[in-house]
Amino acid sequence: MDAALVALFVGAALASLFMSWVIGAGSSGATPFAPAVGANAIGTMRAAFLVGLFGFAGAVTQGGNVSEAVGSGLVGGATVPVAGVILVLLLGAGLMAVGITTGYPIATAFTVTGAVVGVGLALGGTPVWSKYRQIAAVWALTPLVGGGIAFAIASVLPRPDVPERYTVPALVGVVAAVLVNVEFSFLGRGNTAGTVSELGQQAVAIDSRASAVVVTAGTALAVAAVVRWDVCRDQRGGLRRVLLALGSLVAFSAGGSQVGLAVGPLLPLLDEVAVSMFAVLVGGGLGMLAGSWTGAPRMIKSLARDYSSLGPRRSISALVPSFLIAQLAVLLGVPVSFNEIVVSAIIGSGAAVGGRDAVDARKILVTLGAWVGSFALSFVLAYAAGVLLL
């Protein structure tokens, strides 16, 4: 094996580790528990600790799809050299670090995607328009769909004619139904992922489609029944436990989605240096865990306090669509920003009850500008650097 290639790969791996740390300190580390912190259900430091653990688990078990999309699905006909990989990671991490320093949530997916596409096109690659359309659709619809669902849920939860002993269990039941059909790498056979639903279907002696319905519906009803009992027994404590459970699921989903932004650029190099995908995902997950524990508290506070005045009900309203959109993005292999997902949901849930007074309009406009500007800036810088240096 070429020693120079190994040395360059080590440099790229260190850049990826730095990117992982930045992601953990920023988007994936701050956003999942920000609504829970805003609702005073958990302290900032404890939230950072938990999000690191769940993010690591998600990175290792669900990180493959987005990693492959970032590594090989954004540009066709060109192989990015090791120096280009390092350039992509440093540009993305640098812009994210600026966001962490200033307190504004720069969208990680925007910066990394812009950098990968910019470098790839500069090296003579061809645009993958089908993937771009898919990514653009998810990015554009996320604020509308996520904010809209959060607005609808937050509009219903406080109503006296719709008791929480019914609405909250129903919401958690929907989340449980989705969760049992989520693919995990450790549940599959060989190189294919598997679901909890598929394991349950093996015990049901009916056709596959009907068994999937039985397992999914049975799980949803069982979880909803437990949550209803808990909320009826202790409403305040029950809502808090639901909120923390949803935050944990969102943190897990964040790990599965965001790790691909850090390690995806390394994938084309793995065969040359004989490193496994699993090892790279573990390394990325550890970097995110370290970032969550050391750098996330500031961003958690910014999101929890500055965007909307949240209570437990509006926080639940924000986390349910965040989980659903995140898992859809993981399934599609689309790099998506957790800042965009959760901030949109926070805004939607806050506007449902408090109207304009519950949302900082100036902060929102600056954030939108940071999102758009981060993609454009990363693309231009990466393309120019690719032309001049590679």
For range 354-366, the mean pLDDT = 67
8 Å CB contact between 317 and 54: no
8 Å CB contact between 346 and 306: no
Cα 325 from Cα 185, distance rounded (Å): 20
Please give the radius of gyration of the chain, using alpha carbons only, rounded to the nearest integer: 21
Cα 298 from Cα 201, distance rounded (Å): 44
> Burial of 34 by CB count in 10 Å (0-12 exposed, 13-18 middle, 19+ buried)?
buried
What angle is formed at CA 286 by the lines to CA 282 and CA 292, rounded to 5 degrees?
145
Tell how far CA 234 is from the center of its chain: 31
Lowest-pLDDT range of 62-66, 203-207, 309-313, 369-373: 203-207
> Burial of 276 by CB count in 10 Å (0-12 exposed, 13-18 middle, 19+ buried)?
exposed
What is the pTM for the complete model shown?
Answer: 0.86
For range 349-362, the mean pLDDT = 68
For range 193-218, the mean pLDDT = 73
Cα 74 from Cα 82, distance rounded (Å): 17
At residue 177, the pLDDT reads: 93
pLDDT band at 338 (very low <50, low <70, confident <90, very high): confident
Task: Please give the DSSP secondary-structure letter assigned to residue 75.
Answer: E
Q: Is 157 helix (H, G, I), strand (E, B) or coil?
A: coil
Cα 48 from Cα 26, distance rounded (Å): 11
Mean of all residue pLDDT scores within the chain: 83
Token look-up 């990325």 returns 284
- The domain segmentation of the chain, as residue ranges, is 3-157+251-389
At residue 355, the pLDDT reads: 61
At residue 308, the pLDDT reads: 47
At residue 324, the pLDDT reads: 93
For range 125-148, the mean pLDDT = 91
Task: Please give the DSSP secondary-structure letter assigned to residue 124.
Answer: T
What angle is formed at CA 374 by the lines to CA 369 and CA 380, rounded to 5 degrees?
125
Q: How far is CA 274 from CA 247, 269, 327, in A?
A: 36, 9, 30
Percent of the chain surpassing pLDDT 90? 24
At residue 124, the pLDDT reads: 87
At residue 39, the pLDDT reads: 72
> Burial of 72 by CB count in 10 Å (0-12 exposed, 13-18 middle, 19+ buried)?
middle
Digit-coded pLDDT (tens) for 27-55: 676 778 877 787 777 888 888 899 899 99
Residues 6+ apart with CB under 8 A from 186: 61
Cα 370 from Cα 150, distance rounded (Å): 23
Digit-coded pLDDT (tens) for 223-245: 999 999 999 998 888 888 998 99
Token look-up 């109207």 returns 355
pLDDT band at 356 (very low <50, low <70, confident <90, very high): low
Q: pLDDT at residue 343 above 50?
A: yes
> String of b and e for 135-167 (b: at least 16 CB within 10 Å)?
beebbeebbebbbebbbebbbbbeeeeeebeeb
At residue 336, the pLDDT reads: 87
Q: pLDDT at residue 290 above 80?
A: yes
Digit-coded pLDDT (tens) for 145-170: 999 999 999 888 877 777 888 899 99
For range 282-298, the mean pLDDT = 89
